C-alpha cells in the first residue's frame, strides 16, 4: 500500500491512493486537479522522508466536493451580570480524491483494497422466533395495587407532627 503524508493549509494529512481526505476549504472548483506537497512517502517497506518535502514525488488529487462540517457551539456565561452569549461555527472543508502518489511520468496501476466478504446472517425459523409471552395481569389485581398506593398512611395524618413528650426529670434545688 502506497501512502504519503501531505501538507495542505498548514496541516498534515495521510493520503492513500484511491481514498478521500478532507482538508480545509480550497479555492479550486469541483473536478479540478490539485498538487499537494509530500512530506513523506511510503511504499511497502520503502520510506522516503523529506527535509521538509520529498523532491521528485508528486501527489495528485481531484476536488470531489465542498461541504461544511458539524456545528460547534460555544457559550459565554458570566454569573450575576446577566451575560449569556450563545454562538456557533461551521468549518468549511474540501473533499479530495487522491489519484496518484509517485514520481512524475511513473505509470502504475492503483492497488484497490479488497472488499470485505459479505456474511449473510441466518434467519431463525418461525417456531424459535415466537417467544413465550407473559400472561396478562388480571385487572382486579392492578386496581387493588393502585388503591393501596393512593390510600393515606393511617398512623399519622399528613402535615401534623406528634406532640413533644414532657420531661419527667425534676430540678434539684440547692440550699
Residue 164 covered by a domain: no
Residue 36 covered by a domain: yes
**pLDDT score at 16:** 93
Residue 26 covered by a domain: yes
The answer to whether the CB of 37 falls within 8 A of the CB of 54 is no
Positions in the chain short of pLDDT 50: 128
Return the C-alpha cell found at 132: 413465550
Residue 39 covered by a domain: yes
**pLDDT score at 99:** 92
Residue 173 covered by a domain: no
Residue 111 covered by a domain: no
**pLDDT score at 49:** 92
Residue 161 covered by a domain: no
Range of the structural domain that residue 17 is part of: 2-102
**pLDDT score at 51:** 87
Number of Cβ within a 10 Å radius of residue 1: 10
Q: Report, in this order, helix, strand and coil percent for the chain, each rounded to 5.
A: 10, 40, 50
The partner residues of 95 in beta bridges, in order of sequence, read 22, 65
Tell me phi and psi for residue 68, to 5 degrees.
-110, 145
The length of the chain, given as a count of residues: 175
**pLDDT score at 78:** 96
Total structural domains within the chain: 1
**pLDDT score at 104:** 84
The answer to whether the CB of 154 falls within 8 A of the CB of 148 is no
84's CB contacts (< 8 A; 6+ apart) are: 75, 76, 77
SS (H, E, C) 103-116: CCCCCCCCCCCCCC
**pLDDT score at 45:** 87
Residue 42 covered by a domain: yes
Q: Say which DSSP state 153 is in.
A: P
pTM score, whole prediction: 0.56
Amino acid at each position: 500500500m502506497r501512502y504519503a503524508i501531505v501538507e495542505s493549509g498548514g496541516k498534515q494529512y495521510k493520503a492513500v491512493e484511491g481514498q478521500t481526505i478532507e482538508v480545509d476549504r480550497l479555492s479550486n472548483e469541483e473536478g479540478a486537479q490539485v498538487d499537494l506537497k509530500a512530506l513523506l512517502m511510503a511504499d511497502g517497506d520503502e520510506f522516503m522522508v523529506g527535509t521538509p518535502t520529498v523532491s521528485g514525488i508528486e501527489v495528485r488529487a481531484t476536488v470531489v466536493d465542498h461541504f461544511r462540517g458539524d456545528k460547534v457551539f460555544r457559550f459565554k456565561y458570566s454569573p450575576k451580570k446577566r451575560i449569556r452569549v450563545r454562538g456557533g461555527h461551521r468549518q468549511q472543508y474540501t473533499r479530495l480524491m487522491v489519484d496518484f502518489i509517485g514520481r512524475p511520468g511513473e505509470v502504475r496501476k492503483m492497488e484497490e483494497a479488497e472488499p470485505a466478504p459479505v456474511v449473510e446472517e441466518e434467519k431463525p425459523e418461525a417456531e424459535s422466533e415466537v417467544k413465550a409471552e407473559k400472561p396478562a395481569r388480571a385487572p382486579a389485581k392492578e386496581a387493588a395495587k393502585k388503591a393501596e398506593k393512593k390510600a393515606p398512611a393511617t398512623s399519622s395524618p399528613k402535615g401534623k407532627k406528634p406532640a413533644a413528650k414532657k420531661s419527667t426529670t425534676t430540678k434539684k434545688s440547692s440550699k
